[in-house]
Chain A
Amino acid sequence: MRKILVTLLFLLFGTSAFADCNIKSGSINILANDFPALRTFVETSKQCKGSADFKVTHSSEHNKIAVPALTANPSEFSARIAANSSIVPLMNQDLIRPLDDLVKKYGKGIQDSQLITIDGKVMAVAFMANTQHLYYREDVLKDLGIAVPKTYEEVVAASEKIRASGKMQYPYAAAYKAGWNLAEEFVNMFIGHGGEFFKAGGAQPNINNAKGVATLNMLKKLSELSNPDYLTHDSEAIKVEWESGNVALMTLWASRSGTLLDDEGDPNITKATKLTGPATVGGGNIPAATLWWDGFTLAKNRSDADAEATFRALAHAASNKKMVADAADQAVWLVEGFVPGPKSIGVIEAVKMGAKPYPMLPQMGLMHGALGSEIVEFLQGKESAEQALKDVEAAYISKAKEQGFL
């Protein structure tokens, strides 16, 4: 009992000791995606809320809520944790405010490299980087004498070998759920082939070409080595597949490595789970992956006092050396003082290999949406690659016309 009391007291003083941002008023309400690193980030910022009102919504449906909630005046949320792709609709609708003054006033610990500037104005402050890269089962590969794959062609060959050995029926996994996830896999693979989504200097689509066909064919080969239910599998589902020992090679987000390598689940599988950089494809030099940042943005339709309180709390977390030291396993933090651990290999390799960031273009969301629904039939074997790409372009063009991009 005394021990508990002492611990509690220690915790109480321990946290309050460094968490004093002296925020006197204002209300803070944050909208964020739901994964461990973001929870840690928001919790850290909460430590310095002072007497401000503090609320947070963690939701994997954050993309659906963001634009309507920030359009309202006053907006429901004072801050939105966004990424390369989700900042675009906020920019398109002019829903977030420039942060230059606040950064100057309160952003002491924030490094210059964390600032997302658009047209010279700071629009977001990034705090972590993310990408999708390969995970492999060391034991399985070793048993069969397979080298760690560096290209998707090698992934296919390795998976075929594992299947032929009878060890696993569906040795490969990636989040191929129809919709956003599947489209993201296409984006990665297309960039790996050196593709450009739009014709130079405009919004005309540019995917119905040899690179697009090669991309689709590779996705199809991989899907044939995956669980037949792949079109319904998102990141969470393939994580479960991995933890049940059904999969030996997997493309998954770096931010999920923490939950994959924690103490839950079969210790033998956890021990044999190894991370490596993203694979290249089609003889290309750059990896078939996109780099992502996660950062915070502040709502425009909210009082200056709220914006100030919110910025101070979030800046506290975005420059917190203790947080990045304690949670070094959860993400690749862009914050000063971060020492990359073994779980950061994927992102660091991706950066080294020259991976490209996800395209931050106003019309990219429409392309992503069209991809997510129109390439399904090709994977099901119901239409040709050329037809699927033609459909994507046609669906995109209609939507882009309605939105005034074409």
Chain B
Amino acid sequence: MPNKTFFWFFLPTGLAMILFIGLPIISTGIQSFYAQHDQVVKEVKKCDPFGCTVSIVVDNELTTKLREDKPLGKFNGFGTYVDRNHLAIDEIKKFWNETENFGAFVDQVTNLPFYKALIFTLTYCLFVTPNVLLLGFIIALSLNAVARKIRGPLIFGTILPMIVTPLVGSLVLFWMIDSQGIIGANIQNLMNDPYLSLKSSKTLTWITIIIYGIWHHSPFAFVVFYAALQTVPQEPVEAAIIDGASRFQRIKHIVLPHIYPVVTFVALISLMDNFRVFEPIIGFSAEGSAQSLSWLIYDNLVNEEVILFGSAAATSMMTIVGIAILLAPVLIRTWKEFKTAR
């Protein structure tokens, strides 16, 4: 495609991306450097049906004036980024000086909200992404081998987990693993421990969410791999059969190299998706045991009666940076291949 055609072709999409993705990100970035003005409070008498007390309220007149002068708030620089609820630089320094051994230091650091969330998010990514790739590939291979007649219904059944809304899917599983649900009760019987609960144990909650993640994301990998398998040329495969190559050898030396670019693509998309894990935490009511970076943003925006825009913005920016770091190796590799291909 000539560059000029490409430009006109891309223009509408590009404009929409700048308008709906680029500008909001810039605005979020700016917001993250600001904090609220100092609250002006005054003592007043408050009366309700249970009696009167003297207590404090925000002085609205003075606050309104402050806000009109500087609507963005008080400039805070990287203040929000380094506070305890985010990167917690000061706290980490303190822990490093105070703790005796490395284990205690790690314990202290992973107790900080941002690092707690980061660790869950990374664990989720590291377990879900490879398993999704593997499972998707195996399903695609098996379905590619069954008779054409029953393939249609099988494919439909396989992509069901993707069709089911994430929240609904997780809620169904949530009720099944309840200590009185079908899975939860059976596990209790099996382990002979009436106090065993998948929902109260942190490890078991993590495992549940990871299994759910694999279940939910595999169909996507499967669909893409299945499409790619249709393009594998038959001649080399037949030649390999004549040469006496086993099924495993054929897959390793012919199929995999052929669909390799697709694998990279699926890995990239899965990583990005998994880094933003959010719905299962809400669906499983797992806020107590598992928090992800996206959940932290949500928490800052809606769970408090006071909305923390600065905090949410800072976490958003760090999530973007996190995704960029995670994707960097794959992107660099793709770029190199693209260059050598030319």
A357 within 8 A of B: yes
How many chain B residues touch A (Cβ–Cβ < 8 Å)? 59
B288:A380 contact, CB within 8 angstroms: yes
Q: For the complex, what is the distance from the CA of A316 to the CA of B42, rounded to whole Å?
A: 34
Residues B58 and A399 in contact, CB atoms below 8 Å apart: no
| Residue of B57, B199, B201, B303 touching A362 (CB-CB under 8 A) | B57
Indicate if the CB atoms of A228 and B197 lie closer than 8 Å. yes
Whether A365 lies near B199 (C-beta < 8 A) is no
B308 touches A402 (CB 8 A): yes
Q: Which residue of A lies closest to B307 (CB)?
A: A67
B235 within 8 A of A: no
B123 within 8 A of A: no
Q: Which of A191-232 contact B (CB under 8 A)?
A: 227-232
A404 touching B35, Cβ below 8 Å:
yes
B36 contacts the other chain (CB 8 A): yes
Q: When each residue 74-116 of chain A gets 1 if its CB lies under 8 Å from chain B and 0 otherwise, what string results?
A: 0000000000111011011010000000000000000001111
Asked if B84 and A63 sit within 8 Å, CB to CB, the answer is no
Q: Which of B5-13, B43-51, B263-271, B329-337 contacts A (4 or more CB under 8 A)?
A: B43-51
Interface residues contributed by chain A, number (CB under 8 Å): 67
Interface digits, B304-337 against A, CB 8 Å rule (1 contact, 0 not)?
1111101100000000000000000000000000
Q: B36 touches which one: A120, A180, A404 (CB < 8 A)? A: A404
Does B238 touch A at the CB level, under 8 Å? no
Q: Which of chain B's residues have a CB closer than 8 A to the CB of A401?
A: 35, 83
Q: Are A402 and B202 in contact (CB-based, < 8 A)?
A: no
Which of A21-29, A44-52, A265-273, A389-397 participates in binding chain B? A389-397
B85 at the interface (CB under 8 A from A): yes
Determine the distance from Cα of A88 to Cα of B60 in the docked complex, in whole angstroms. Answer: 12
Q: Give the Cβ gap from B287 to chain A, nearest Cβ, in Å.
A: 5
What separation, in Å, do the CA atoms of A177 and B74 have in the docked complex?
35
CA distance A382 to B116 in the complex (A): 13
Assess the A229–B200 pair: CB atoms within 8 A.
yes
Task: Please state if B305 and A369 are interface contacts (CB–CB under 8 Å).
Answer: yes
Closest to B286 in A: A232
Q: Considering the chains assembled together, what is the distance between the CA atoms of A120 and B36 in angstroms?
A: 27
Q: Are B50 and A293 in contact (CB under 8 A)?
A: yes
Chain B residue at minimal CB-CB distance from A68: B307
A138 to B45, CA, bound (A): 43
Inter-chain contact B305/A117, CB cutoff 8 Å = no
Residues of A that sit less than 8 Å from B by CB: 63-64, 67, 84-86, 88-89, 91-92, 94, 113-120, 126, 129, 169, 177-180, 182, 227-232, 291, 293, 334, 351, 356-357, 359-363, 365-366, 368-369, 372-373, 376-377, 380, 382-383, 387, 391, 394-395, 397-399, 401-405
Chain B residues near A (Cβ < 8 Å): 35-39, 41-42, 44-51, 55-58, 60, 63-64, 74, 76, 80, 83-85, 91, 111, 113, 174, 178-179, 194-197, 199-202, 284-289, 291, 299, 302-308, 310-311
Q: Which 5 A-B pairs have the closest CB atoms?
A: A365-B305, A178-B288, A228-B197, A119-B44, A232-B285
Can you list 27 pairs linking A and B with CB atoms under 8 Å apart? Answer: A63-B302, A86-B305, A94-B63, A116-B46, A116-B48, A117-B45, A119-B57, A120-B45, A178-B288, A179-B303, A228-B197, A229-B197, A231-B199, A232-B174, A291-B50, A362-B39, A362-B58, A363-B39, A365-B304, A365-B305, A366-B304, A366-B306, A373-B299, A382-B202, A395-B84, A398-B84, A399-B304
